[in-house]
Amino acid sequence: MIGGGPVPGMGPSSESGPPGGTAASSPATLPDRIEVESPRKVAIVRADGERMVGPWSGFDLLGVQGPDGLVAWIEIAAPDRLRVGRTLIRAAPPASSASPGAWALLAAALDLSGASDMGDRARAALGRLVPDDVDRWIAAIESVVQETEARRRDAAAAEAAVAIRTTRPHLEPRAGGSAIPARRAGRTPVDVERDRAALRTLVDAEVEGLGLETVPTAQVLATGSGTLEEVAAMGVAVDRCLATARRRLGTAPETPLPEGGLAIVDPGDDDAARVLLARHLVDWPPDEPSLLLPGPRGWLAVLAEPTADRVRAWAAEVHHGQAPGVPPVEAPTVLRQVELARIAARVAMLEAGAGRVPAWIVEGFAEAAAQAMVEIAPLERLGRGPAVAAIRGGRHPGWIRSLDPGDERWGAGGDARRTSHLLVTRLLESGDAVLPGIVQDLANGADPDAAFRRWTGLSVAGWLDDAADWFRTND
């Protein structure tokens, strides 16, 4: 059965009418699914460009049954939806292939997947099969479509009401890094271009109506509210930061990012940024300059405007760090440079670690990399002192290991961000191969304690104890 029970209007066939009545005296009913005894190979193209040939063994309202599971109708190019459904109907046992219910089910499935023009063609085939009874079947199709759409709307509303959450999606634990874009073996330049085109399609849908420009660069799809030149400059800056961060982690900087790569959106308006995130059931955490959303098609980064408080806090520090006689770079510009570097470093770390790296290493590396790439940034000047003081005041740094991704202490200037920066800087200073080695071991499935023992001689807890002891007497 579909969804744990029959679709409304489905049930025992009434094609011949009830006993003692006529076919027109009772509503028509659609079957749950159509199945074939001998699966058929039919070449179809998925919406992302991938070609599949089956074999296909049946279909229902949700999709087509293939060798590796159900392929949703919406993932199949519209003309192929009709073609594969028609092939399966004709290959079904005589009782099904000659049944108007099979064509009615296909028409309903096509309508529900947004291919109503193909649904009209299925209805035409239905009319040729039962010309004298077609109105009853059309009414059954419309009933099923309306009731299914209503249930979907209700389910979506109920999910949205409870699922929107304040979090940082790139820090959420994932079993095996399953939500991190994966690098496929044997990926060709044609595959890379196809993946980037698929990401572009998704981004265009995300920002539709916002009046933003989009420019593809080497590794990045940059989208923003500025001119084409300004948006392109943002993409090029992230390319440069990404190459630097990947090189530090031992990843070849010229290698294409997994799947579609990185899309970075600067809507230029915080309300627009919140709308973008709400579509992903995410609310913006307080004091967070950007959010990174990993997904199977690529990464989506969304930027917020620097807050007035943040600009004021950085203004004096930024000017203090600049060389005399050089035209000053204003605090908002430095804040934006730092945020682009952070995003690039997070992507590089998530890629290198296959999503298995602890949050404190991801964020600590983002801070350390941003400081190295934007030298006048005051990240270390503002953060190192308070982080060291907390340790000397008796607070063990191990507290960051179990912090929720939505916790405000992960925000810019927060205690967790500062402590992570301090700790990862110590890892980086322990030797060029130490951090990349730990990350690679984690990516390969090693236990964190095993990875740390291999590269530092201590478990994670032991290494944190050692770091705490060192910072109590050193700076």
**Is the pLDDT assigned to residue 1 strictly greater than 60?**
no
Higher pLDDT, 68 or 349: 349
Cβ 426 vs Cβ 360: under 8 Å: no
The stretch 92-107 carries a mean pLDDT of 79
Cβ 7 vs Cβ 144: under 8 Å: yes
The stretch 292-306 carries a mean pLDDT of 84
**Is the pLDDT assigned to residue 23 strictly greater than 60?**
no
Largest CA distance in the chain: 100
Higher pLDDT, 297 or 86: 86
**Is the pLDDT assigned to residue 225 strictly greater than 70?**
yes
Cβ 409 vs Cβ 416: under 8 Å: yes
Identify the weakest region by mean pLDDT among 64-73, 180-189, 227-236, 302-311: 180-189
Under DSSP, is residue 138 helix (H, G, I), strand (E, B) or coil? helix
Cβ 236 vs Cβ 230: under 8 Å: no
Identify the weakest region by mean pLDDT among 293-302, 333-342, 450-459: 293-302
Instruction: Supply the CATH classification number for the domain 191-473.
Output: 1.10.390
**Is the pLDDT assigned to residue 97 strictly greater than 90?**
no
The stretch 351-362 carries a mean pLDDT of 91
pLDDT tens, residue by residue, 227-248: 999 999 999 999 999 999 999 9
Q: Residue 270 has what pLDDT?
A: 79
Q: Residue 185 has what pLDDT?
A: 67
Q: Residue 96 has what pLDDT?
A: 56
Under DSSP, is residue 357 helix (H, G, I), strand (E, B) or coil? coil
The stretch 125-142 carries a mean pLDDT of 90
Q: Residue 18 has what pLDDT?
A: 37
Q: Residue 427 has what pLDDT?
A: 96
Residues recorded for the chain:
475
Using alpha carbons, select from 286, 329, 291, 292 the residue that is nearest to residue 310.
286
Higher pLDDT, 27 or 133: 133
pLDDT tens, residue by residue, 377-389: 888 888 899 999 9
How far apart are the C-alpha atoms of 404 and 467, rounded to whole Å? 23
- pLDDT band (50, 70, 90) for residue 368: very high
Cβ 196 vs Cβ 261: under 8 Å: yes
Q: Residue 293 has what pLDDT?
A: 86
Q: What average pLDDT does the chain have?
A: 84
Identify the weakest region by mean pLDDT among 147-161, 176-190, 306-320, 365-379: 176-190
Please state, in angstroms and as integers, the Cα–Cα distance from residue 176 to each residue in 120, 173, 179, 450, 455, following that order.
44, 9, 9, 17, 22
Please state, in angstroms and as integers, the Cα–Cα distance from residue 256 to each residue in 182, 195, 241, 436, following that order.
12, 11, 15, 19
At how many degrees (to 10) do helices 78-91 and 116-129 cross? 30
All CATH 1.10.390 domain ranges of the chain, comma separated, are: 191-473
**Is the pLDDT assigned to residue 207 strictly greater than 60?**
yes
- pLDDT band (50, 70, 90) for residue 421: very high
Residues 6+ apart with CB under 8 A from 279: 206
- pLDDT band (50, 70, 90) for residue 449: very high
- Residue 374: CB atoms within 10 Å: 24
Share of the chain above pLDDT 70, in %: 86
Q: Residue 441 has what pLDDT?
A: 96
Higher pLDDT, 296 or 450: 450
Q: How deeply is 188 buried, as exposed, middle or buried, from its count of CB atoms within 10 A (0-12, 13-18, 19+)?
A: exposed
Q: Residue 176 has what pLDDT?
A: 40
Q: Residue 288 has what pLDDT?
A: 85
How far apart are the C-alpha atoms of 212 and 54, rounded to whole Å? 40
**Is the pLDDT assigned to residue 48 strictly greater than 70?**
no
pLDDT tens, residue by residue, 423-433: 999 999 999 99
- pLDDT band (50, 70, 90) for residue 311: confident
Q: Residue 454 has what pLDDT?
A: 97
Share of the chain above pLDDT 90, in %: 39
Helix, strand, coil in percent for the chain, rounding step 5: 55, 15, 35
Identify the weakest region by mean pLDDT among 145-149, 262-266, 267-271, 326-330: 326-330
- pLDDT band (50, 70, 90) for residue 6: very low
Please state, in angstroms and as integers, the Cα–Cα distance from residue 5 to each residue in 10, 59, 104, 108, following that order.
9, 16, 18, 17
**Is the pLDDT assigned to residue 115 strictly greater than 90?**
no
